[in-house]
Structure 1
Amino acid sequence: MRIILAALALILSTGLALASPDFWRQEWPNTDFETTTIENWGEILSGGPPKDGIPALTDPGFISVTDETRLEGREPVITLELGGVPRAYPIRYLTWHEIVNDVVDGVPVAVTFCPLCNSGMVFDRRVDEGVLEFGVSGKLRNSDMVMYDRQTDSWWQQAIGTGIVGHFTGRELVQLATWMESWDEFRTRNPDGLVMDEPAWRRAYGRNPYVGYDGSTRPFLYNGEPPPHDIPALMRVVRVGDRAWTLGRLRDEGEVAEAGLVISWAAGQASALDSARIGQGKDVGTIRVRDASGADVPHDVMFAFAFHAFWPDGRWMLPN
């Protein structure tokens, strides 16, 4: 852990020294840097890997739930129920690839996971009349993954699903209603479901390269303000719009009904950012967010520092 922190500190200091539109143009000659919402280019840092150094996936393979034998029961998966057969995207694969471009029931989707922010969201890839394919830029802003689209090389902020540099600056992707749950929860509810198959890459799938990260006090490559109300920077929070509920409150209360939502917590899901084996991580539980009619609501379970960074005026839903 100390070696990783030292390396990341070096990256941080180097990135601050070099970050500028002129510097980034050398690596991104097709990106329109004149069109952007970025005011301080020092916010954009190299995460270490270059463009596509973390290889996003496209058109992944799937197998039936009954044929899957590699996943441990408490391992987290992102669940997508978009008509047809429910699909599970294991975090053991997303940890190493961060983006999966897929088509589900005729809808092109991007399944995304940023380990440094614990942010896992699924977006509709359709923008205007076209379909975008996303890759990993290798850049970070507020410790969050900066994605890019292969059509225009525009940059997109994963945590907010919004274009920040290039042709699609200011455009927002539609977030779909998905959630993260344990493999046991998914396969029990969906015995006829599908699960993403292991990619054909040489990676230590099932291992966590960020051992102990969610137990640390400081986020990697982040020098912004800490969250208010003495909330730990790496406390998980449930974000819906510009509101956030801490996982601690939800674990204590089990279910919270407010702001037109019902948010529930249930034990059984392992943290992907704790132990060396993802399936053996500490129990962080599963969150479901539904509206008054019982329909699932788009949300994110992210770290508190990231919510504060991207929603500095957001509302913290604290206990009364």
Structure 2
Amino acid sequence: MRHTLLALTLSLFCSASLADPQDWARAWPDTDFETTVIDDWSEIMSGGPPKDGIPALTDPGFLPAADETRIAGREPVITVEIAGETPRAYPIRYLTWHEIVNDVVGGRPIAVTFCPLCNSGITFDRRTEAGVLEFGVSGKLRHSDMVMYDRQTESWWQQALGEAIVGELTGMELDRLPTWMESWDEFIARNPDGLVMDEPAYPRDYGRNPYVKYDSSTRPFLYRGENPPHGIPPLVRVVAIDGQAWPLTRLAEEGRIEEAGYVLSWSAGQASALDTALIADARDVGTVRVRDEQGADVPHDVMFAFAFHAFWPDGHWMLGN
């Protein structure tokens, strides 16, 4: 297994060094590669699966949270709570294998996204100036982060940024929703009448983590960029908000931080999705909530430090005293 991963990594690195949109055009005939913010095409590489090899979901089924029996209490879910609508939980046990869920909540088209290699879980509004978009998984990575694409124009989008980086819609940004990752127990305790996404009808080993011990590795997979500054290990989680990053190690130690107009809190009880083979058995990484000074939830991401540094090289590291 180790030799297989090494061979795959070397193969992908070689293909990345020869990255050329003309080669990609065969699989992407409708993508405008002349319009882009990418200066160095070698930043984009194959993650292994081809276009749609990781199948994004659209209009998933749901069931009452009280009827769900497959999800262990500490397993992580992405929680979507929109005013006036029944709260919904999107289990990471499914998002690990599908990465994008196109859904509609209260008439609002949304995309719930999770990139395992960056631990980046963000929910976007799919309404744009170009109309309502539906997203798929391109199979490409940039700085180890998933490159999404929209099915309307086949433009490529950086998941961590919510920004189109290649194609007709280059430069367009998606609005983020204030959603968060928490344990299944936390969701159902607060929302006993909530809804949970049902298990997709795909032959996947749901509940298992294909990236065993990834978040305790010393180096991110398929990443060639700089390590974070200040001696911060690349796979430490950080709370990222508007170009600022709070190391989770600091937040977990302090429990609550009030800085820069935000109130960050941490509580134990959520399992890592990227530790043991069975997510339910993974170590506790805790749940983060971010609110403004008035108590309203704030869009944020709990991502790995290397990814924050890659996309915000001039970002501000909130290290405390």
Matches of 1:25 and 1:225, distance apart in 2: 30
Aligned partner of 2:90 in structure 1 is: 89
**One-letter amino acid of the structure 2 residue matched with residue 171 of structure 1:** M
**One-letter amino acid of the structure 2 residue matched with residue 183 of structure 1:** W
Matches of 2:7 and 2:53, distance apart in 1: 17
1:12 match: secondary structure = helix
Aligned partner of 1:48 in structure 2 is: 48
- Number of aligned positions between the proteins: 320
TM-score, normalised relative to structure 1: 0.98
Whether contact under 8 Å (2:16, 2:46) holds in the other structure is no
**One-letter amino acid of the structure 2 residue matched with residue 239 of structure 1:** A
Aligned partner of 2:19 in structure 1 is: 19
Matches of 2:319 and 2:308, distance apart in 1: 14
Aligned partner of 1:280 in structure 2 is: 281
Aligned partner of 2:62 in structure 1 is: 62
Matches of 1:113 and 1:97, distance apart in 2: 8
Matches of 1:89 and 1:205, distance apart in 2: 13
Matches of 2:139 and 2:130, distance apart in 1: 27
CA shift for structure 1 position 279: 1.1
The Cα offsets for residues 188-207 of structure 1, whole Å up to 9 and x where unpaired, read as 00000000000000000000
Identity of aligned residues (%): 72
Whether contact under 8 Å (2:13, 2:45) holds in the other structure is no
Aligned partner of 2:78 in structure 1 is: 78
Whether contact under 8 Å (1:137, 1:147) holds in the other structure is yes
Aligned partner of 2:199 in structure 1 is: 198
2:25 match: secondary structure = helix
Unaligned runs of 5+ in 2: none
Matches of 2:252 and 2:234, distance apart in 1: 18
Structure 1 residues 4 and 193: alpha-carbon distance in aligned structure 2, compared to 1, 3 A threshold: farther
Whether contact under 8 Å (1:182, 1:270) holds in the other structure is yes
Structure 1 residues 196 and 225: alpha-carbon distance in aligned structure 2, compared to 1, 3 A threshold: same
The Cα offsets for residues 36-94 of structure 1, whole Å up to 9 and x where unpaired, read as 00000000000000000000000000000111000000000000001210000000000
Structure 1 residues 201 and 259: alpha-carbon distance in aligned structure 2, compared to 1, 3 A threshold: same
- Is the counterpart of residue 230 in structure 1 residue 231 in structure 2? yes
Aligned partner of 1:32 in structure 2 is: 32
* CA-based RMSD: 1.0
Structure 1 residues 80 and 7: alpha-carbon distance in aligned structure 2, compared to 1, 3 A threshold: farther
Matches of 2:260 and 2:130, distance apart in 1: 34
Aligned partner of 1:209 in structure 2 is: 210
Whether contact under 8 Å (1:112, 1:121) holds in the other structure is yes
**One-letter amino acid of the structure 1 residue matched with residue 118 of structure 2:** C
Q: Which moved more, 1:9-18 or 1:251-260?
A: 9-18
Unaligned runs of 5+ in 1: none
CA shift for structure 1 position 307: 0.2
1:27 match: secondary structure = coil
Matches of 1:180 and 1:73, distance apart in 2: 13
Aligned pairs (5 A) from 1:37-186: 37-83=37-83, 84-128=85-129, 130-186=131-187
CA shift for structure 1 position 129: 5.1
Aligned pairs (5 A) from 1:249-264: 249-264=250-265
The Cα offsets for residues 242-290 of structure 1, whole Å up to 9 and x where unpaired, read as 0000000001100000000000000000000000101111100000000
CA shift for structure 1 position 2: 2.4
CA shift for structure 1 position 23: 1.4
**One-letter amino acid of the structure 1 residue matched with residue 11 of structure 2:** I
The Cα offsets for residues 202-232 of structure 1, whole Å up to 9 and x where unpaired, read as 0000000000000100001100000000000
Q: Which runs of 4+ in 1 moved over 4 A?
A: none
**One-letter amino acid of the structure 1 residue matched with residue 66 of structure 2:** T
Matches of 2:180 and 2:44, distance apart in 1: 28
Matches of 1:77 and 1:15, distance apart in 2: 35
Matches of 1:7 and 1:47, distance apart in 2: 13
Q: Which moved more, 1:129-138 or 1:300-309?
A: 129-138
Matches of 1:9 and 1:149, distance apart in 2: 27
**One-letter amino acid of the structure 2 residue matched with residue 263 of structure 1:** L
